[in-house]
Every structure is written in C-alpha cells, then in structure tokens.
Structure 1
C-alpha cells in the first residue's frame, strides 16, 4: 500500500514562519511536521508519494529520497487548488488501494490502523477517519448512518458531531470522481465534494472513529500545542552532550551530541535540546521548550513553553515565553517577549488580515527566520515579526512587522555647551 501525502500548500496562516519554506517542514520538537506524518504511516505502507508545489526544492532537500528505507516519490500538484486536485496528482502512480493524508496534521498510528481495518472490513470504495467534537464551528460535519457516511456537510456552527480529520483510504476509481469534482464556493477542488459524488453514485464510503490526539497545525499556536504534547508524551531522558558540574537537569531532558550545558543552568523537563548548542551559564529553561541545533541560550535568560529553531540565539538577559523563534535569528541583550495581557484575556493574533482568538491567555511572539533584534526590545503578546527583519535598540513592537523590515527608534538629543 502506498501513502499520498499532501504537501503543496504554503501555509499562509503560519506566516511569518512560512515566509521562506513550506509549512510541512517547520520543526516542532526539533523535527519537521511531515516526518511525524510519515512515521505514523510507516508501519502500513511501502512507499510515500509527496505532492508538492510551494518551494518544493526545500521540501525535497529536507526529506531526501527515502524515509526509514522506504522510497519517496515527489509529484507536482496539478493546476488548481484544493485537496481533490492534490490527491488527483497521484493518478498514474498508484494502481491499488492507497492512503491519502494532509501533510500538516498530527495523528497517532492508531488512526491509520482503524482506517485500514474499517476500509477492508466494509469492502469500501473509500474511508475516512473522524473524531467527535463538541463544537463543529471549524469543521465540516460527517453525517453517518450505520457503518457508512451519508454526506459531508458544511460547517454547522457550534454543535456536536463527527469531524473529518484529513486521513483517507481509497481505491483507484476515486480518480474518476476527482475528474468530475467541481470548483467549490471557496474556489478550490475539495475531496469532500468528491466523497459526496461517490456517495450519490452508490459507492460505499466508510468511516473510522478515532479518539486519540490530533492536531491540525494551521496556526502558530497549534505548533506550541503540538510541541507540548510531543514533549509530554514522547520524550525520554537522554543526555548525549556535556553537562558541567553545577548544572541541574530535572528529567525528562533530551540533550543532543556536542551540546554543552554550562554551570548554573537549571532545566525542568520535558525539554528537548538539539546538537552542538550552548546552554548557560546561569539560565532557566522551563517545561515544554524545544531548542534546535547550533543554538545559544546564555546568561540570565529564561525560556518557557517555546520553540527555538536551529541556529538561533537568546544570549543575554532575555525572556522568551510561549513564543516561536524561527531559524537563524538573534535576540539582542534585554529583548523581552510579553505573553500575558493585563486583563488576562485571550490573545488575539492577526491571521490573513483578520484578528483571530487564539484561545490562549498566554501567547508570546511569533518571530520569523533571520530576524535580528537590538538591545532592550519589547514585544507585545501575539505579535509577529516577519523573516529577515531588523528591530533596532529600544523598539516596542506593538503591531506586526512585515518581512524584511527595518524598525528604528529615533530620539532627539538635547545638546548643551559647557
């Protein structure tokens, strides 16, 4: 059985982290999101077909030509947007039943096992994984009858029911129905419309109920949620670097080869630190933090519940709370991320030009790749700094900063002759 992984999208809602790379290779707990997808598909498939478009060269560079010894085939998404076009791009590469999944979600192996068991037990033409939610405001509703799906409906509002999780099994005749799928109101060719066409034609579409953890990594705070889950449930205490006398590690803490934990560092797990990083002296790293390869966390720095990607630094007198810092970024001495409103209300974040409630009352900064801040920079909760930007000394970031911006505070000086 082959797996078709949809990885063509840019991930507009994850900007600025996707300013210069596809969303599926963003790292959570120091691994690209798509690797978790492949890892949980791995026991059930013998080949991966990855559907690409946006910055496909970076995706290919990140994954290579195999995963756990199984080949990866790349295919460009056909013209047009949407999941139906993406899955249809694999036509000619599969000639038997196959799995198709969104490349930017997290699920456990049990979801795939339940899907395949249901698909084969029902001798279905298609099957999908569903999960029960009390609020379907952000999901299409799956209407079921007995063991089969009766219809895939529009978002019904704040009501309970089954939601589609973006994990499917198909027989090859799905491609005939994809070719007949029309453009949706959203301007996309959607696989849910394909499923409705199949049901109307009398095809059997089954469903498997999954009760485990699932995350649609569509917004920055979803990355923090997934990071926390992975560190809580998957991390093992494994120290491969050097720990100086006077440093304290409270398990579980994972430390990669070549990393040095200096004296006075106090680390409360679960925390994951990559290879060849420098931690301390005299810093405080709190739970649910992942720090990538070749990073520097220095003196009098506190980091809590955050993601710091490869080659980035918080070297002097910094506080990083509930934040994401992209690759190759550097925080100047005294740069602080605020993560809590005075009224303790939920943090709202601008997503595609509209403010969205993150559902979190603690959320810090979302800082892109290659960002540099000067000394004593203060960043308001939920603010985004675009990749390649420079923030000058003393700046207060109370609004989002576009990519490749220069933010400078100019102050008039009083000059007196003596």
Structure 2
C-alpha cells in the first residue's frame, strides 16, 4: 500500500508564517508539521508520495525518502490528488499534511478492504464537511452547513484505490473555481460503498492557532523533548510537556510552562515566562518578557519587557484577521502571530490575536492594537 499526502497549498490563511516558509515546514514540537504526518504513515506503507507545488523547495530538500508529485496550478484538492496518479499502483491512504490523528487510529484505519473515510465528532461541525451516514456507510457530505444534520465531520483522511482517478475527470469546478475532492467522493458513493471510521482525536490546522493545538497534541502524546545540550541556568522552572531544541539557553529564573516549544539556538533571558507558545529557531527573548499563547517566527529579537498579551479584558473569544475576514479563533487565550526576522524594542505590548509581518521593526514602548503589515514610522525614536 502507498500513501499520498497533500501539501501543495499556499497557506494564505496562515500568514504571516507562510510568507517565508511552506505551511508543511512550520514546526510542531520542533519538527516540521509534515514530518509528524510521515512518521505516522511510514511503518504502514511501502511508499509515501507528497504532492507539492513548484515553489516548495524547502519541503523537497528536507525530505529525502519521499516521492514528490507536483501540482502545476492551485486548482483544488482533487487536482492535487490527480498530480499523484502516475505514481499510484493500487490502494493508498490519502491524507492532508495538516491533519493530526493518533497513530493507533491510522493503523486501524488502514486495515481491511474497501473505501473508507475518517470522521470525528466535532463541537463545531458547521465549520467542516458534515458527514451523513446510513448503517455505517457514507451517504452524503455537506460542506459547512448552517444547520448540520449531525456532529460527524470529515477528517481529511481516506482509504482509496486507483479507480478514483477517472472520477476526478468527471467533476466540474466548484463555486470558488476549484476541483473539490468532496465532489469526487459524491460520485464514488453513487456506485460504491464508503465506510466511515471514527477517530478518537483530531486536530486540523486551518489557521495559525491550529499550530498551538497541534503542539499540545504532540507534546501530550510524546512528552517533553529537551535536547541534551540545552543550557538551563539556575532558578529556571520547566514544566512537563515542553520541547526545547539543541543549542538553546534558558536563562536564570525563567518559567517555561506546559505545551511550549523553543527551537534551535534560541536564548530566553532572565525571568522570562513562556506559556503554551511556539518560539522558532534562532530567536532571542530578552529579560522580563512574557510570551503567552503566541507563535514567534525564526530569527526574531524580542527586547526587554515585551508583553504578548493573550486574554481580552472581557474574556470573550479572540477574533483574528485572515484572508480579509474576521475569524473567531474559538480561543479565549491567544497571543500574537509573528513572522520571521522581526525586532521588538523594549517595553512593547502586543494585544491578543495580532499579526506582525516578517522583517519589521517595532518601536520601543509601542502598543500594538492592529495587525502590522508594513514598517512603522521609526523617526520618533531613533534618537537622532
């Protein structure tokens, strides 16, 4: 059996993180997202085929043991699967790169014959493809219905065979102009039975805060992962379920709380608190700073006394801008999403749910109340 992983998407909803690297290469517990998907599959299949686009050299240069299929244009998930057709022998598992499902569930899913789709009982089914069933067999999929018929949603993992490919040629573009894999399955179930398989846990990464959920998922499952050469200075407290990569320094009297990941060659200064956050490689967090429920990109420099606020005063869920829409994250605690190579002056405060684009400098004592996508005016603080 083979596996096909769909990883060709441009990740526009993940910006600013995907302005400088592929979504599939963003870290979860200090390993690329795609690496966790591959680890869960490689003992079950003979070959893993990853569908990428022509600009994803960061993926193709990192993963040496995979076969790569190229989606020439972004025409939808069904078109992405079609790009892998030439490599498929017969049966295969199809999964999106950004789905986190326990390995034990994937192992059970792969057993037996026939067609299968993985489903999960979601608290918010209206945000996903809702699955309708009859005696354990898929009867329909309704994408993001206003009034869901059930709380069973599709998880982005199917068991298929090469007979799926002629059906791709039969579908037409959707209202948004893409060839949708769901439309292929609607054709399939007119002729064949597709079993449903309910998974015990599922995390999907549609927006940046999904990486915080996935980070927690992995650290709960695998426990703490602290490299042997990490320097932990006196007075530092590190809770369980934390990942700290090679070459990093955790300064005196720091507090690194559960479900935080700190990348390679990072430095966390004196009396810094990091809570449920992802700090990527080569980033420095200076003394007396607070990083709460945030994602900080690579090569950032955070000066002393910077606060990444993570809770609204009224304790409502935090809304975030994404693709010209205002999206409710569903999280009461969510800090900032910061791209690569950002520099913060001293005593900056960033309000919950704000984004900062790569390569910017944030002036000292600023209060960031909106997303920062362009360089702020620096003339007032240069001291010239």
- Is residue 54–residue 70 contact of structure 2 (8 Å, CA) maintained in 1? no
What secondary structure is seen at the aligned counterpart in 2 of 1:96? coil
User: In structure 1, how many angstroms separate the alpha carbons of the residues matched to 2:27 and 2:188?
Assistant: 37
Structure 1 residue 410 corresponds to structure 2 residue 364? no
- Is residue 120–residue 201 contact of structure 2 (8 Å, CA) maintained in 1? no
Dislocated runs of 4+, deviation >6 Å: none
User: In structure 1, how many angstroms separate the alpha carbons of the residues matched to 2:121 and 2:260?
Assistant: 30
The Cα offsets for residues 338-395 of structure 1, whole Å up to 9 and x where unpaired, read as 1111111111111111211111111111111111111111111111101111112222
The Cα offsets for residues 150-181 of structure 1, whole Å up to 9 and x where unpaired, read as 22223222533321111011111111001112
Q: TM-score, normalised by structure 1?
A: 0.87
* Of 299, 302, 324, the match for 1:328: 299
Which residue is 1:353 aligned to?
Answer: 324
User: For structure 1, which segment, 158-167 or 327-336, has the greater mean C-alpha deviation from structure 2 after superposition?
Assistant: 158-167
- Is residue 14–residue 23 contact of structure 1 (8 Å, CA) maintained in 2? yes
Which residue is 2:130 aligned to?
Answer: 141
Which residue is 2:219 aligned to?
Answer: 231
Structure 1 residue 189 corresponds to structure 2 residue 163? no
Structure with max Cα Rg: 1
* Of 82, 91, 104, the match for 1:110: 104
Q: How does 1:6-405 map to 2 (within 5 A)?
A: 6-53=6-53, 55-63=55-63, 65-66=64-65, 72-118=66-112, 120=113, 124=114, 126-159=115-148, 160-200=150-190, 202-210=191-199, 212-235=200-223, 253-402=224-373, 405=375
Tell me how large the CA RMSD over aligned residues is.
Answer: 1.8
What secondary structure is seen at the aligned counterpart in 2 of 1:287? coil
**CA positional deviation for 1:227:** 1.3
**CA positional deviation for 1:278:** 0.9
Structure 1: unaligned runs, 5 residues or longer: 67-71, 236-252, 414-418
Q: TM-score, normalised by structure 2?
A: 0.95
User: In structure 1, how many angstroms separate the alpha carbons of the residues matched to 2:185 and 2:382?
Assistant: 65
- Is residue 393–residue 408 contact of structure 1 (8 Å, CA) maintained in 2? no
- Is residue 227–residue 246 contact of structure 2 (8 Å, CA) maintained in 1? yes
